[in-house]
Amino acid sequence: MLPWLLCAALLAGWTPNAVRAQEGRAAPEARQSWHIAAGPLAPALRQFASGANLLLTFTADQTSGKTTRGLQGEYAVPEALAQLLAGTGLSAEPLPRGGYVLRPVPRAEPAQLAPISVTANQLGEITDGTGSYTTGALATATRLVLTPRETPQSVSVVTRQEMEDFNLTSIDDVMAHMPGVNIVTYDSERTEYYSRGFAIQNFQYDGIPMMRDSAYSAGNTLSDMAIYDRVEVLRGATGLLNGSGYPGATINLIRKKPTYDFQGHITGGAGTRDNYRGELDVSGPLNKNGTVRGRAVAAHQDKHSHLDHYERQTDVFYGIVEMDVAENTMLTLGADYQNNDPTGSTWGGIPIYDVNGNFNKRSRSFNNGARWSTWEQYTRTVFGTLEHYFDNEWIAKLQLNHQINGYDAALGAAASGNPDPADGSGIGMWTGKYVGKTRSNAADLYASGPFQLFGRRHELVVGGSINKRTWTNKGYGPEAGYDTSVGDYYDWDGNVPEPDWQYSYGNREVTRERGAYLTSRFNLRDDLKLITGARVSDYKGESIKESGVVVPLVGLIYDLHNNVSVYGSYSGIFMPQSKQDEQGQTIDPLEGNNYEVGIKGAFFANRLNASLAYFRLEQDNYGEESGGTTPSGGVAYRAVDGVETKGYELELAGALTPRWDLHASFTHKVARQDGDKVDTLSPENQFRLYTTYELSGAFDGLTVGGGARWMDKTWGDVSYPPNGGTIKHTVDDYWVVDAMASYRFNDRLTASLKVNNLLDEEYYTIFSWYSTYTWGEPRNVDLSLTYRF
């Protein structure tokens, strides 16, 4: 009935829910340049209809709560409408006498390429439900919502579909797929990620920066993926939005968002060595007209291990509500919770050498931890955003985040010394108890929109942020007389009593950071864009204060043709340091500078992205001992040029055909300091390839796939017992091959099989600081069943 009433209203000249420009309409074949910002769908359609001089008919119910990724570039009217409506569930149907009317899109066949989704909370495009191995847009680099091709820095994404295909349930799993990132394992509860010669300490959650301290690990590298839509990694110096940090990369975890239609799934799975997991995800409207939407996710995993007497239980809960509080205003409130509760935690790894200087080969099941040893880690987050879309296409957004990262670690491990093969002597226990947490409060406010200059349309972001982190810690030691001897190391089974812990010391550190940032995207020509930006930051720590630190970003992108662009960029970041010179002055902050040039391509309506980048990354003001002392008698330092990393990266991600998805990369880097190679625990060369193919015909419903990653050799200087000094230890290169298969019984029920380390490769990584090594996980199998509703 509604379409007939609408047509009658149009014939009568009354068009409250239609857009009518002046009489006449543009020829469908004509192409024109469009600049429509991402945002609510209805005003974007009104702007399009006015610019195209055509009649476009739709109802308020059709567009309520829906957004569009916007429209940039030259398109004919049908193409432009398809781009504006991508992912909205609507299509534009031409009318016999001219104009268009919006209709629901029929349900797509499985073999069709899934449409790219729409922006949510100005964080980029949602990947959940797209079936894609790439994203159409992201905002991690500049706050501007840009396609990967439009972003003049190296950025990679692991999407929801890739996580589901390969059962990537933890952030470690995701980083194993991520180009240009290497994982260094400390022990069962701590991993460190490295990129371009530096440890990654910068994390973001929905674009809000949080720093991570690996020494007191508190949940960042144990994050469960059940609540996240995708993970983005922006490589190089990323100070524009982060402020302080190290120049290797930033990891941005984007949470799942509510949907306009009711949907959900329940998954149950079991794997090798008593690995059990369950997950529930429910999303949809919370009122009749869909102006309030919610999503809830819960997951539980009980994972035993190839390590003797080790297991970890993980519990995850997440809830989010979006409310359209006005036609162009949306309020988002949410919270998440994760507990990681292990028993039999290791602390450090296996000593590389025995007392005679021979490789100390222990079985892959060896656990140096006591049976009571545990490193519980947890996160608690509440967050809110308020965003408003103005009629002039500007957007204002306020984002608030309160996060607690905590730990309760009572640790004991046979890790001190080097064993004597004759009788197993020479090893003692490390023992310690640490209880602490970091409370982080962050706020970010910015406005973004277009402006006119010299007859062309450009874009601007202006904003500011404030962050306060408070870390508290209590350290405990064993009671006097506690026996830390191991006896025969080769008979160690972790069955020793836990000590009575005695309080030893406490820590409390408060860090405050605030900054203002500005980013502009100048449309110099239709095929040439200039991105410039800067952040001015103030930083205050316990004994450090820096004011007015300027961090720049400059990028230039030139479109060679409709699918390929070349770019160049410079970006920076800074990190305050407490070291003093001989005059007692704190030396300047570490400065990371990233220079990058490359070529990017986007094909098949942005469903396949390709990139090739060459980079040079420099760290200046590295603190080197000067040979003198400070006025207080401490060791004095001077600021010198630090690490320089050079390399290149290749990546291909997305759909090669409607049934064939792929994520492949090759990275090469060499990091040097004063001519000597550093960061040698990360391989200089890495290759990754993960792909899936959906079969048809007699095998319709079956998807098969696999992956492989190759890590070049690594090395480090470690302690060598025979001479009491150090020796270079080299780890050979290795391949790890994975395989997967899934079968879709119908639209609701799917079974999935994943085999990790299919060839059961024996490989290990070293941590030279401890002079230890850790075995990689042996072959394991996971089988799961998912029901969607």
Across 418-500, where does the E strand assignment appear?
427-453, 456-478
Neighbours of 559 (CB within 10 A): 18
Quick: pLDDT tens for 446-481. Answer: 999 999 999 999 999 999 999 999 999 999 999 999
pLDDT score for 48 = 83
| CA 382 – CA 403 distance, rounded (Å) | 7
The helix (run of H) or strand (run of E) holding residue 390 is none
* Residue 601, helix vs strand vs coil: strand
Torsion-angle region of residue 13: left (phi > 0), alpha (psi -120 to 50) or beta? left
pTM of the model: 0.85
Quick: pLDDT tens for 755-774. Answer: 999 999 999 999 988 899 99
pLDDT at 317 over 80: yes
Report, as an integer, the average pLDDT of 709-719.
95
pLDDT score for 215 = 76
| CA 684 – CA 697 distance, rounded (Å) | 44
pLDDT score for 4 = 34
Neighbours of 737 (CB within 10 A): 18
- How much is the mean pLDDT over the chain? 89
Quick: pLDDT tens for 215-260. Answer: 788 889 999 999 999 999 999 999 999 989 889 999 999 999 999 8
Please tell me what DSSP assigns to residue 511.
E
Quick: pLDDT tens for 11-45. Answer: 233 333 333 333 333 333 567 777 787 777 877 88
| CA 69 – CA 36 distance, rounded (Å) | 9
Report, as an integer, the average pLDDT of 518-535.
96
Report, as an integer, the average pLDDT of 84-110.
73
pLDDT at 108 over 70: no
pLDDT score for 88 = 83
CB proximity list for 193: less than 8 A, separation 6 or greater: 175, 181, 182, 183, 184, 199, 200, 221, 249, 251
* Residue 98, helix vs strand vs coil: coil
Which residues are registered as beta bridge partners of 321?
A: 294, 333
| CA 529 – CA 555 distance, rounded (Å) | 8
Report, as an integer, the average pLDDT of 423-452.
95
CB proximity list for 772: less than 8 A, separation 6 or greater: 348, 349, 350, 351, 352, 415, 766
